[in-house]
Amino acid sequence: MKKTISTIVVVLFTISSWGQSTLIPINIEMSSIHWVGKKVTGQHDGIINLISGALEINEGILVGGQFEVDMTSITVQDLSGEYKEKLEGHLKSDDFFAVESFPTASLVITQAEKKMENHYAVTADLSVRGITHAVNFEMHLVDNSASSKVIIDRSKYNVKFRSGSFFENLGDNLIYDDFELDVVLKF
């Protein structure tokens, strides 16, 4: 009788756990977001910090995730001193990311399609400056790490400064709309 009850409990537990997802929290201290913005005359790069994040896994397959980014943490790595401080201040200003009004950005994975072992095509809702648009990117998961390169069109988020989408005849002052995020998540 005990064996029958134990078997029933194991079967019920197994059935109840089918289809359930597990949230795997991101180690924000070990994770990184490296940004690159390009202009006609060169480029700048830096980092931005995660506040929180988790990947949603179901039976070993990526099915979702959500992340919050600290927009006030934008730093520039390719400059120093006064020029570094000026660019960081400008990126935080209303010309770019308006961090006083919008201190965080978020990304919510809405779809993840496994393309091959450890490789996914991901669709996510990205919210920047209170504006949300879908973005598509590839994510590679291996061991306790996930990596992606995400290309974002800043003009979709009302980031207009020296954008060819909003202004004509910028010449050498043009800053390209697309910027890159190289993301490494550790968990």
Return the residue matching tokens 């009788």.
1
In a domain, 9, yes or no: no
The Cα–Cα gap between 164 and 155 comes to 9
- Render pLDDT for 78-116 as a digit per residue (tens, 0 to 9): 999 999 999 999 999 999 999 999 999 999 999 999 999
In a domain, 151, yes or no: yes
In a domain, 116, yes or no: yes
The number of helix segments (H) and strand segments (E) in the chain equals 2, 9
Looking at residue 121, its amino acid is: A
Predicted pLDDT at 20: 87
- Confidence (pTM): 0.86
In a domain, 75, yes or no: yes
Check if the beta carbon of residue 135 is closer than 8 Å to that of residue 150: yes
- Residue 52 CB coordination number (10 Å): 14
Check if the beta carbon of residue 71 is closer than 8 Å to that of residue 48: yes
Average pLDDT, the chain: 91
Q: How confident is the model at residue 12 (pLDDT cuts 50, 70, 90)?
A: very low
Check if the beta carbon of residue 33 is closer than 8 Å to that of residue 47: yes
- Render pLDDT for 120-154 as a digit per residue (tens, 0 to 9): 999 999 999 999 999 999 999 999 999 999 999 99
CATH of the domain at 158: 2.40.128.110
In a domain, 134, yes or no: yes
Among 105, 29, 44, 35, which Cα is nearest to 78's? Answer: 44
8: phi > 0 → left, psi -120 to 50 → alpha, else beta; which?
alpha
In a domain, 2, yes or no: no
In a domain, 6, yes or no: no
Measured CA angle at 55 (ends 53, 60), to 5 deg = 165
- Render pLDDT for 41-58 as a digit per residue (tens, 0 to 9): 999 999 999 999 999 999
